[in-house]
Structure 1
Amino acid sequence: MPIKPFKDLSLVDDFMFSEVMRRPENIKPFLEALLEKKIESVVTIDKQKDLKDTYDAHGIRLDVYLEDEHQTKYDVEVQARLHRKLEKRIWYYTSGIDRHSLEMNTDYEELSDCFVIFICVEDYFGAGLAVYERESHIKGAPEIPYVDGSHAFILNTDFKAENGNPAVMDFLRYIRASYKGERYDISESSYLRQIDEAVSEIKEDSGREMEYMTIAMKMMDERKEAFEQGEARGRAEGERANQIKTIKRMLSRGMSLEDISDMIGLELEEVKKLAAQE
């Protein structure tokens, strides 16, 4: 897939979303409207934050990660295409954030609240809601909440029912219009005008364009390498399957394992292992 031109980026693209929403004046009003709570200050904020426990572990690259004055963690993601098993992805992100925020020898009670928010351009659950919020309670006793400090939201820009703050609804409409390449009237919203101006400002920054191209090229190389590794594994598995088939066919014709080893050029122990495969 070719790299999307920088001038064509919108808020639905990871890079642009990270650049715009990493600014406290942009992310803070959004979170306050969605969560209906006051955030006094944003203490730390990162874009495209990497969480990885070990070099070869499956890493997490967060779009926008921040903490408030109470050390509450927030991760906000934008999804231009629908992913399967989004619930497990949210669980994995939450656990990664918790592991990296809990210091050695710190009691689990010290874990801060964590909010993971996914903004999707398609309706993941198909119920037409704009805001899907996970609730946890005890089975058989729904009046008893299960409070572990983790919170999950999946927002749907393609909503039919407006079940959230009007400011959030406007924001989702703006993202949907950006995704479809349509214009959206932002004249009545000072917040959306602020967001739109940030997008335009970033597009005019040659330094940001170079950064985008560097990241895009790196990700393209990573995908290419992963594809080539997958192809290599597939070829190796296919070769192994053919060897097993050949060995079994030769055994069915009464040949000994020793003779087969000589004929196909494999060590006897390897031939025995392959012959035992189902």
Structure 2
Amino acid sequence: MNRGKAVKPLKELNLTNRFLFDEVMEDAETHRTVLSIIFGRDIPPLIHNETEKESRISPTVRSIRMDVFSMDENEVVYNTEMQTKKKMDLAKRSRYYQALVDTSLLEPGIPDYRELKDSYIIMIMTFDFFGWGKYQYTFTPDCREVSGCSLEDGATRIFLNTEGQNPEEVSDELVAFLKYIKESTDDVALASDSKKVQQIHRRVCKVRASEEVGVRYMQAWEEKYFDRQEGREEGVMETKQKVIQRMLQEGFSEDVIMRITEITKEELERICSFGDK
């Protein structure tokens, strides 16, 4: 079967890739380090940190899948998203994300809305959505009629732009981080004086070198390919076989393959024999 464009090796991915971004940010300390760069201050330890979190308030309401959802020990909530495609609905998408996050934070029966936790929706973009050349755009609800009067409802939306042109208005560390997002290499990491950027790079290198992450990456790519090409249940089964055959060709051990793909020894032997025909 002609697969068109070949899959890019895991070791060559940048943090703009959603798979690598989620794998790296799955580590709570790494996500905390990223947040500390964005906010320019220490962030309390994260007591909850989850990637690929699905949020749905009702079967009839559109769900969302958050890249990284976390809460610190002060119960401040952060939703960090990677955006590489410039879609014109991004502003309203962030509004919808904010609404679903808020809905999930207030338990039924609580009468006081002051119990609603402070929350931040953070969009890391590889383009300048607003066109003002800023590395960072921060939105909080302010009063048009009274200067300095803010609603102070605890909701903040932050849009980060890797293509910013105003380094004098933000920290050197934020600029270095946004450059590293686009080009997650040894050279870019070492060119920065930021220990936090270098800490993030060490996590990236660890993820890239992980055999199990490599298996998940290949599996995710194959499933996405067959979902797109086939869209049928038999395509999913063929995906699994193709993934396992590719893993065998790449030298992954049988124990790792069986653990990650959740197949038995007999199923693996059957797939191996099928591949030899």
Normalising by structure 1, report the TM-score. 0.73
Deviation at 1:194, TM superposition (A): 1.9
Determine which of 78, 83, 89 is the counterpart of 1:79.
Answer: 83
Q: Give the match's secondary structure for 2:97.
A: helix
* CA apart distance, 1:49: 0.9
The superposition leaves residues 244-278 of structure 1 with CA deviations (integer Å, 9 ceiling, x where unpaired) of xxxxxxxxxxxxxxxxxxxxxxxxxxxxxxxxxxx
Quickly say closer, same or farther: Cα 1:123–1:105, change in 2 above 3 A: same
> Which of residues 161, 173, 184 is equivalent to 1:156?
161
Q: Does 1:177 align with 2:183?
A: yes
Q: What are the Cα deviations for residues 120-151 of structure 1, in whole angstroms up to 9, with x where unaligned?
A: 11111111110111132112112211111110
Q: Distance in 2 between matches of 1:122 and 1:142?
A: 30
1:219 and 1:55 map into 2 onto residues whose CA distance is: 24
Number of matched pairs: 224
Aligned equivalent of 2:213: 208
Alignment-derived partner of residue 259 in structure 2:
none
Partner SS, residue 48 of structure 1:
strand
Match of 1:20 among 4, 21, 24: 24
SS at match of 1:126: coil
Q: How far is the alpha carbon of 1:184 from its aligned partner?
A: 1.7
In structure 2, the partner of 1:9 is 13
Secondary structure of residue in 2 paired with 1:172: helix
Report if the CA contact (8 A) 2:33-2:200 is conserved. Answer: no
State the Cα distance separating 1:222 from its structure 2 match. 5.3
* Long gaps (5+) in structure 1: 227-278
**Deviation per CA, 1:195-250, whole angstroms, max 9, x where unpaired?**
22222211121211222333344445555688xxxxxxxxxxxxxxxxxxxxxxxx
C-alpha contact 1:34 1:165 (8 A) present in aligned 2: no
Change (3 A) 1:43 1:182: closer
> Highest Rg: 1 or 2?
1
Aligned mate of 2:37, from 33, 39, 55 = 33
Letter in 2 for 1:176: K
Q: Distance in 2 between matches of 1:225 and 1:141?
A: 57
Structure 2: which 5+ runs fail to align? 232-277
Identify which of 191, 195, 202 aligns with 2:200.
195
1:185 Cα deviation from its structure 2 partner: 5.0
Which residue of the partner structure matches residue 257 of structure 2? none
Measure how far apart 1:19 and its partner are.
1.5
What secondary structure, in the 3-state scheme, does the structure 1 residue paired with 2:190 have?
A: coil
Secondary structure in structure 2 of the residue aligned to 1:100: helix
SS of the equivalent of 1:141 reads coil
Of 33-42 and 115-124, the range deviating more from structure 2: 33-42
| Separation (CA, whole Å) in 2 of partners of 1:102 and 1:197 | 37
Change (3 A) 1:219 1:194: same
Deviations 1:74-97 (CA, angstroms, capped at 9, x unpaired): 011111222212110111111111
Q: Hey, what does 1:125 align to over in structure 2? A: 130
1:47 aligns with 2:51: yes
Amino acid at match of 1:140: E
d(CA) in 2 for partners of 1:225 and 1:155? 36
Tell me the distance in 2 between the aligned counterparts of 1:68 and 1:4.
35
Between the aligned partners of 2:55 and 2:227, the Cα distance in structure 1 is 17
Q: CA deviation at 1:6?
A: 2.6
Contact 2:189 2:197 in 1 (8 A): no
Tell me, yes or no, if the aligned pair for 1:129 and 1:156 is still in contact at 8 Å: yes
Pairs within 5 Å for 1:263-278: none
